[in-house]
Structure 1
Amino acid sequence: MILDLLPESPPSLDNFVAGGNAETVAALTGWLAGERRDTSFCLWGESGCGRSHLLQASTFALVDAALDPALASAPAAEQLAVDNVDALNEVGQIALFNHFNRLKMSGGMLLTAAPQPPVHLALREDLRTRLGSGLIYRLLPLSDAEKAAAIAAQAKERALKLTPEVIAYLMRHAPRDMRTLSMLVVALDQYTLEQKRPVTLPLLRELLNMENA
């Protein structure tokens, strides 16, 4: 796959497409900068809204509870991020409860993410209470119009001419998450240079067929 050959673009606050989440991103940025003293910050929202991107962008020590439900790999860091807290097992919930208390005592920071706000998570009551005592913000998924606008803006930065028809085709036939769409813009830019051809629907089909081969 051509995407496998592209250099990784590490998730950052700068390359996060905020869409309708400008207030949430601003609050997170301020909290990361120490403008608020709250121990925890919880991001919640449906799959694909960018929760994992922002946790990685925080540069905190990161543990994904979907892969490590017991938090066995969670370090005693002063800045800890835990993705998919809803996947924690009983051992992991006790571990996160202890991490929260440790960080509160030391002035550390805990960033978490889940598909629902803490009050609705199937977690221990004492852990739900702890997570619910901090900052809680919802992440909204990007609309199709916002994704299309983001693609157009990224293409413009590369001096890549994408017609509305090309963008619409890309939106219909490519994975819908912004990370993949952004990488496809980079791949399309490189492919046009290699082929010495402008971006057309046939050329885009060629690229997507390479992806699916």
Structure 2
Amino acid sequence: MRQIPLGLGPDEPHSFDNYFPGPNAAVVAHLHALNSHQRPAPVYLWGEAGAGKTHLLQSLALEVKALGGRVGWYDAGASPEMDFDDTWRLLVLDDSERYGPDQQQRAFALFVQATTHGQLIASAGRWPPVDLPLRDDLRTRLGWGHVFHLQPLSESDCRAVLRQAADRRGIFLSDDVMSYLLTRFSRDLGSLMGLLDRLDRFALAAQRAVTVPLLKQMLAEERQ
């Protein structure tokens, strides 16, 4: 079971408002408070794929921008040549476990420069810093400040997230459909949200209510 945004259209930006905190309320509160500090300590979030790490980093970036700050975003798809900007309020280092050698070197340099200029640094990876497949100096920097492990949602929270997501899409999910989704598919809620989107479109095209038979029909047609 993994955390997902409650936001429901693909164009809705990730924010703290559409993140279901569950057992991670203290992490969200900490991130919320960062903008009130002049020189906050770095933050590192870790957890398995789908845990909500990027959602929270994007939420923090959105909040910084809303307050007039600029954000530098560096992830596994970024160029090793990305320039540092001393006007950033926030530097984000996402997908850190996927950095190649050149990206690791650049991420380390960005981290040092951001620290020197008193910028907020928020980073994330799939594992705790000590276990990241990175050069030692970068691992040390990522684990220097506050490190948070994003905890998975309970099954009841998982159901609540899906229910709210479906309600905001105008889909009625019966208990039978909910149980079918949670017992027969991976509880990666990111994947389940994609399934929910496809099911919504399929039901609209068929002009039928969302039921287990309709779900089975959609899956059968997708396999053809």
- Structure 1 gaps, min length 5: 1-5
Q: 2:153 aligns with which of 135, 142, 149?
A: 142
Question: Counterpart of 1:51?
Answer: 53
Distance in 2 (CA, whole Å) between partners of 1:169 and 1:106 is 52
Change (3 A) 1:34 1:96: farther
Does the 8 Å CA contact 1:21/1:139 hold for their aligned counterparts? Answer: yes
Match of 2:17 among 14, 18, 24: 14
Larger deviation, residues 186-195 vs 11-20: 186-195
Mark the CA change 1:209 to 1:110 in structure 2 (over 3 Å): closer, same or farther.
Answer: farther
Q: Distance in 2 between matches of 1:211 and 1:175?
A: 17
Offset of residue 112 of structure 1: 1.1
Partner of 1:177: 188
In structure 2, do the counterparts of structure 1 residues 212 and 13 end up closer, same or farther at CA, with 3 Å as the change threshold?
farther
Which of the numbers 28, 31, 37 marks the counterpart of 2:31?
Answer: 28
- Number of residue equivalences: 204
Aligned counterparts of 2:214 and 2:42: Cα–Cα separation in 1: 47
Of 39-48 and 172-181, the range deviating more from structure 2? 172-181
**Residue aligning to 2:92:** 81
The CA deviation at 1:63 is: 2.7
TM-score by length of 2: 0.74
Structure-2 separation of matches of 1:35 and 1:211: 51
In structure 2, which of residues 123, 133, 143 is the aligned counterpart of residue 112 of structure 1? 123
TM-score (normalised: structure 1): 0.77
Distance 2:135 2:171 in 1: 51
Taking the aligned partners of 2:100 and 2:201, their CA distance within structure 1 comes to 45
Cα offset, 1:100, TM superposition: 1.5
Label 1:176 to 1:8 Cα distance change in 2 as closer, same or farther (>3 A): farther
- Name the aligned partner's letter for residue 206 of structure 2: Q
Over residues 99-123 of structure 1, what are the superposed CA-to-partner deviations in whole Å (9 max), with x where a residue is unaligned?
1121112222222111222234344
How far does residue 197 in structure 1 lie from its aligned partner after superposition?
Answer: 2.1
Distance 1:182 1:112, change over 3 A: same
Greater mean deviation of Cα atoms: 202-211 or 15-24: 202-211
Alignment check: 8 A CA contact 1:62 1:74 kept:
no
Separation in structure 1 between the aligned mates of residue 160 and residue 45 of structure 2, nearest angstrom? 24
In structure 2, what is the Cα distance between the partners aligned to 1:38 and 1:125? 23
* 1:6-31 deviation digits (Å, cap 9, x = unpaired): 84444333322322211112212222
1:96 equivalenced with 2:107 (yes/no): yes
Report if the CA contact (8 A) 2:75-2:95 is conserved: yes
Amino acid at match of 1:94: Q
8 Å CA contact 2:50–2:190 kept in 1: the answer is no
Residues 154 and 74 of structure 1: CA distance in aligned 2, closer, same or farther (over 3 Å): same
Worse-superposed segment, 85-94 or 17-26: 85-94
Q: Which runs of 5+ in 2 are unaligned?
A: 1-8, 62-70
Q: Percent identity?
A: 35
Task: Deviation per CA, 1:144-196: give whole Å up to 9, x if none.
Answer: 33222211222234453211110111224445332332343344344434433
Question: 2:72·2:91 contact (CA, 8 Å) conserved in 1?
Answer: yes
Q: Which residue of the partner structure matches residue 3 of structure 1?
A: none
Look up the match of 2:39. Answer: 37
TM superposition shift of 1:43: 0.4
What value does the CA root-mean-square deviation take over the aligned residues? 2.8
Displaced runs of 4+ in structure 1, greater than 6 A? none
Partners of 2:98 and 2:165 lie apart in 1 by: 35
